[in-house]
Amino acid sequence: MAAPLVLVVLVAVTVRAVLYRSSLAAFISERVEVASPLNAWKRVVEGLALLDLGVSPYSGAVFHETPLIIYLFHFLIEYAELVFMITDVLTAVALYLAIQDFNKVVFKKQKLLIELDKYAPDVAELIRTPMEMHYIPLKVALFYLLNPYTVMSCVAKSTCAINNTVIAFFILATMKGSAFLSAVFLALATYQSLYPLTLFAPALLYLLQRQFIPIKLKSKSFWLYTMQYAALYLCSLVVIICLSFFLLNSWDFIPSVYGFILSVPDLTPNIGLFWYFFAEMFEHFSLFFVCVFQINVFFYTIPLAIKLKEHPVFFMFVQIAIISIFKSYPTVGDIALYMAFLPVWNHLYRFLRNIFILSCVLIVCSFLFPVLWHLWIYAGSANSNFYYAITLTFNIGQILLISDYFYAFLRREYYLTHGLHLTRQDGTEAMLVLK
């Protein structure tokens, strides 16, 4: 499988290199859908220039990256394009290896459940075979590298790519079962953009499953492992934050990075839901609504953990999707990460109900974003409502996509245990609904 992967990587690198040299690069880096105040490249350059002038880069609300990014780019700023291409390749390779491992786990579990006779007799067509699963890792790498969203994000040199790499390494470490590395990478991801905190739950569930520790609230080994993992995670986070203090000898980065993410002061339009609301809100209520919106991101973790405790990787996929929809400054780079997982759930295709319309919605909205931006900002014949309408539609499309996959996944699990032909008590065909 190495050769096709290398081929895909080469094609992806070529596409990016060609785009870097074309005039589109400048146009793409300016797009608000690709570069947000948190991860725009020109802000990184600005911050480093301020540092060269002897001023703290966090003075003034320009630079919102973490000190480790400062350290990384201080030495690599001339090779920025190469760095971003390498990060994309690393993400794709990490996802490839992770999904390879995951497939093995899935297959093993399936075999176990078949032998234990947990499946209903007529679900033969739902059982997955190694043949069909063979190309899934390659497809995942392909989906990530050649996704137009990823390509645009890379050409714009948005540091979202670095965040994606860290999350991909975190997923790889979790799949391999190393709690220590997983905690370290999760701490790095949380340190960079607060929201991966919610990925703690699926990672914990997966590691518990791997160690064959049952998830019961009374079980001592459960709590022991949880405490160990949580301690590893928190200690690494504390160590990284303290280390960042020593870069500039100040705690300035905490309000500039985390305060900025949580309090959303910059209302530049993006593909998220925050900007329009807070642009039109009275000062009096903004604190309340900021809290509500931020809680919305973290809120789905526990119900999903309860429902999906047997399927932590699907949980991770849904969680990443929720983060990239509801985070305060989303960009298309965040979307590209969860879309890379879609080939893993290929087998759910027959249960997806709205996939056609949703993919149309997503594609059309992606094309309409620049059109309505032009109408609003340059032509002046539209206003922010038009752009926000497209933002809303796009986010609704994403949410419906995720809930569709969620429904399809649960439906398949139900069919596996209860048989494909469900009948009601009076003999007619029954329909499963998500309540």
Report the residue from 110, 178, 228, 263 that binds other proteins according to the rule CB under 8 A.
178
Reduced to 3 DSSP states, what percent helix, strand and coil does the chain have, rounded to the nearest 5? 75, 0, 25
* Residue whose C-alpha is closest to residue 272's, from 325, 311, 315: 325
Burial of 182 (0-12, 13-18, 19+ CB in 10 A): buried
**Closer residue to other proteins (CB): 250 or 423:** 250
Q: Which is nearer to other proteins, 37 or 67 (CB)?
A: 67
The one-character DSSP state at 353 is: S
Distance in angstroms (rounded) separating the CA atoms of residues 217 and 427:
40
Residue 364 near other proteins by CB under 8 A: no
Q: Can you tell me the distance from the alpha carbon of 73 to that of 214, in angstroms, rounded to the nearest whole number?
A: 44
Shortest Å distance, C-beta 359 to other proteins: 40
Coil vs helix vs strand at 334: helix
The residue (of 257 and 344) whose beta carbon lies closer to other proteins is 257
Q: With respect to other proteins, which residue has the nearer C-beta, 76 or 371?
A: 76
Number of CB atoms found within 10 A of residue 192's CB: 24
Q: Which window, 19-27, 176-184, 252-260, 411-419, contacts other proteins (CB under 8 A)? A: 176-184
Nearest approach in angstroms of CB 396 to other proteins is 41
Distances (CA, A) of 419 to 23, 167, 318: 56, 37, 26
Q: Restricting to residues 301-330, which ones interact with other proteins according to CB under 8 A?
A: none
Q: Judged by CB, which is closer to other proteins: 245, or 386?
A: 245
Of residues 231-250, those binding other proteins (CB under 8 A):
239, 243, 246-247, 249
79 or 414, CB closer to other proteins?
79
The answer for 288, left when phi > 0, alpha when psi is -120 to 50, beta otherwise, is alpha
Give the Å distances, CA to CA, from 170 to 60, 127, 254, 342, 400: 33, 29, 23, 18, 27
Q: Which residues in the 71-100 window bind other proteins by CB under 8 A?
A: 71, 74
Coil, helix or strand for 423? strand
- Provide, rounded to whole angstroms, the least separation between the CB of residue 71 and other proteins: 5
Residues 246-305 that bind other proteins (CB under 8 A): 246-247, 249
Q: How many residues bind other proteins (CB under 8 A)?
A: 16
Q: Which residue lies nearer to other proteins by CB, 15 or 51?
A: 51
CB of 210 to other proteins, least distance (A): 16
Rule CB under 8 A: choose which of 184, 208, 321, 365 binds other proteins. Answer: 184
Taking the complex as a whole, how short is the minimal distance between the CB of residue 183 and other proteins, in angstroms? 10
CB of 199 to other proteins, least distance (A): 19
Q: Which of 27, 79, 180, 288 binds other proteins (CB under 8 A)?
A: 180
DSSP string, 1-61: -HHHHHHHHHHHHHHHHHHHHSTHHHHHHH-TTT--TTT-HHHHHHHHHHHHTTS-TTSST
| The binder of other proteins chosen from 2, 3, 23, 54 (CB under 8 A) | 54
Burial of 354 (0-12, 13-18, 19+ CB in 10 A): middle
| 144 φ/ψ angles, rounded to the nearest 5 degrees | -75, -45
Kindly tell me which residue out of 6, 21, 26, 52 binds other proteins, with binding defined by CB under 8 A: 52
Nearer to other proteins, 142 or 189 (CB): 189
Q: Which of residues 382-421 bind other proteins (CB under 8 A)?
A: none
Closest to other proteins by CB, 73 or 373 = 73
Q: DSSP letters along 179-204, please?
A: HHHHHHHHHHHHHHSSGGGGGHHHHH
Q: Which residues in this chain contact other proteins in the complex, by CB under 8 A?
A: 51-52, 54, 68, 70-71, 74, 178, 180-181, 184, 239, 243, 246-247, 249
